Structure 1
Amino acid sequence: MNSSSMYDVIIIGGGHAGMSAALTLYRHLHTCLIFDIAKPRNSWSLPSHSVSGWEGRQPEELRTTSRAELLATGLVTFVDSEATSLAHRSGGGFEITDSQGNTWTGRKLLIASGKQNIFPNIPGYAENYPEKIFDCMFTFGYEHRGSKDAGLLADGALSSPFHASMVVGDTRKFAERVTVYTNGDGILHDTMTTEIKHSGVTLDRRRISQIQRSGKGLTLDFEEGSPAEIEFLVHQPSTRVGLPFLAQLGVTVDERGDIRNIPPFFQTEVPGVFAAGDCASPFKIIPNAMLMGANAGAGIARSIAADNLSKEISLGTDSKLEG
């Protein structure tokens, strides 16, 4: 198949969600086109965790294996270029132009593009994420059990006292002492002091000037006072969907910047458009991306079947009228 073909489904994103959806769809004999620029958010070379049967192995190896399986079916095509513009087709479906100037058409659209990290403006942060700066203790905590000192950066999502308190509780399972850093926000410091009740937790209101690797952990330098030595820092960076045509498509995002959708099949408010994976959920882990992709694939397959039935009924009615 090529750019002149009409695919049943166009999938933007060749990560775990997109390929899980394609797996479900090809087994219902649907053709899929997957845009994959091979730039996943978890592109670092760290072993995956919490993925049954894949513990300790590289996420990229899983993506490579999945891609080979899909290509072998003859029903799934990959385009290794970026989707740059999108339009609704007058006869139904969608038309997408890629960065090479090729145009592709499909009946349904699945957005599984993942998200891009937005790191805080602290020197040394990007260099230490995620090897020593962890966004999820369910993913990274076990290997660091028995730590003495850890930190939590109360910024972004973790500036919510309720959310920060939960994550402090997670962190305390793996570290004897946890310091909550409010990074120069005195009002937040006072609020956190009232809200966080866990034992073994202290708060530090100083602004962080730099994060450096040191020994087995990190050194936090501040604009004033002595540096702090910790074994790891917990923080959840903000994220954004990096697609230029979301607004043009009519798809909206929630307060976290995730695409709004309706479970269990994750259809958006735009007919024919579904969303799955990190771009459409606050739970940015591989098992959840696979679940969302599989369910979205099932929803899309049934949506196509419903469209086909409606067309058959319409043609049957028209034939009777003509007779």
Structure 2
Amino acid sequence: MADQVVDVVIAGGGPAGLSAALVLGRSLRRVVLIDEGKPRNAVTRLSHGFLTRDGTEPEQLRMLAREELRRYETVDLRHDTIVSVERAADGQFRSLTKEGQAVTSRMLVFATGMKEKLPHWEGLSDVYGRSVFPCPYCDGWELRDAPLALLGNCSDGNLLAHIQLIRTWSRDLVVCTDGAAKLNAEEREQLHERGISLYEQPIAALLSSDGQLTHIELADGQRIARRGAFLTNTGAYEATDIPRQLGVHLEPRGVYQTGNHGLTRLPGLYIIGDAKHAFTGVAGAVSEGYEAGVAINHALSIEDW
């Protein structure tokens, strides 16, 4: 049986991929969106910062988006995973899925996001997404003025910037770096002047009750009472290696290299959302999906001319 041939295949059904599918579907482009249903924010209870949907469950957002897309016969939603991609001599992409399907497309979009490699602290899984979070813009309001902690170090030399950011939401702040803090003498003095305690001992455990953080336990036995915390780093890495296999390189910060609108060095191949930025937030991802959808439709319109 011959492969199905469409205009665009989108890998990933998060906000970026769904948004791109909507724009392209409404542009009369034949779109196949393939998603495995394992979102990065699966542990997140409520999504914040997205206008008109602030405080909505992430899965509900995805459900509403999929319902909207089903109105368009131009968009085909599939629960599957792309396992490999071949690029034909004519520049088209042949995507093979875990379920054994093959789809050939003129354009290919990866909106597959990132996966987390969290620190191995005892108790982290009990509180992550409930009272310990990666993003203060998403969850800082709910923890405003509470006793907070910033957990982890920064290999990029931006630890002070992280501290300054979290202090926006609470002045009752401690920093636990789980090892020697990457701060110089002047930066350490700035913390001292502002009453921010710095703990460089290894983190032994995060203690909690029903998902609510209560204490940070250090290796020397100290326990620091806290109601919430943010991580400096979640160890995020690209969820798929396929773009690299096609010749797209990673930037030093671990995301794929792209140009305008997510277009890569390979004509017809786009990367958007967290796979491009490491973290965009729902609003940013939706915006980027829209932008990429418009750019792709324009490119296809020129080809069709």
Same-fold status (TM-score > 0.5)? yes
Equivalent in the alignment of 2:112: 113
Q: Distance in 1 between matches of 2:193 and 2:288?
A: 34
Q: Give the structure 1 partner of residue 217 of structure 2.
A: 221
When residues 22 and 152 of structure 1 are mapped into structure 2, their CA distance, relative to the original with a 3 A threshold, is same
Q: How far, CA to CA, are the matches of 1:221 and 1:29 in structure 2?
A: 57
- How much does 1:214 deviate? 4.3
Report the alpha carbon displacement of residue 45 of structure 1 after superposing the two structures with TM: 4.8
Answer yes or no: is 1:188 the counterpart of 2:163. no
Shift of 1:76: 0.5
Q: Give, in angstroms, the shift of residue 114 of structure 1.
A: 1.1
Task: Name the aligned partner's letter for residue 150 of structure 1.
Answer: L
Which residue does 1:245 correspond to in 2? 242
Matched, 1:276 2:272: yes
Q: Residues 178 and 203 of structure 2 are in contact (CA less than 8 Å); yes or no, is this contact kept in structure 1?
A: yes
> Residue 216 of structure 2 aligns to which amino acid in structure 1?
L
Residues 112-167 of structure 1 show CA distances to partners (whole Å, capped at 9, x for unaligned) of: 011101101212222211211121211111111121x2111133xx3444x32223
Q: C-alpha distance in 1, partners of 2:17/2:193?
A: 40
Partner of 2:80 in structure 1? 81
Offset of residue 172 of structure 1: 1.9
Q: Aligned residue for 2:95?
A: 96
RMSD: 2.0
Counterparts of 1:136 and 1:8, CA distance in 2: 36
In 2, Cα distance between equivalents of 1:66 and 1:3: 31
Inter-partner Cα distance in structure 2 for 1:145 and 1:77:
42
For residue 293 of structure 2, the aligned residue among 297, 300, 309 is 297
Contact persistence 1:8–1:108 (CA under 8 A): yes
Is the CA contact (8 Å cut-off) linking 2:132 and 2:213 kept in structure 1? no
Secondary structure of 2:291's partner?
Answer: helix
CA distance in structure 2 between the aligned counterparts of 1:17 and 1:226, rounded to whole angstroms = 43
Total equivalences in the alignment: 302
1:202 matched residue in structure 2: 197
Contact 2:43 2:128 in 1 (8 A): no
Query: How far did residue 90 of structure 1 move?
Result: 2.3
Residue in 2 aligned with 1:22? 21
TM-score normalised over the length of structure 1:
0.87
Q: 2:284 corresponds to which letter in structure 1?
A: N
Please say which structure displays the higher CA radius of gyration.
1
Give the CA deviation at 1:284: 2.6
SS for the counterpart of 1:175 is: coil
What is the deviation of 1:83?
A: 0.5
Q: Percent identity?
A: 25
- Per-residue CA deviation, residues 93-114 of structure 1 (Å, 9 max, x unaligned), is 1001101111111000011011
Structure 1 unaligned regions, length at least 5: 310-323
Shift, 1:268, TM fit: 1.0
What residue is the counterpart of 2:148 in the other structure?
150
Structure 2: distance between partners of 1:101 and 1:65: 28
Distance 1:202 1:3 in 2: 65
**Aligned amino acid, residue 217 of structure 1:** L
How many angstroms apart in 1 are the aligned matches of 2:285 and 2:193? 32
* Equivalent residues of 1:93, 1:107 under 8 A apart: yes
Once residues 112 and 245 of structure 1 are traced to their aligned partners in structure 2, the CA distance between those partners, rounded to angstroms, is 12
Q: Which stretches in structure 2 are left out of the alignment for 5+ residues?
A: none
Matches of 2:273 and 2:192 in 1, distance apart?
34
Query: What is the CA distance between 1:256 and its match in structure 2?
Result: 2.2
Whether 2:167 is the aligned partner of 1:169: answer no
Contact 2:215 2:224 in 1 (8 A): yes
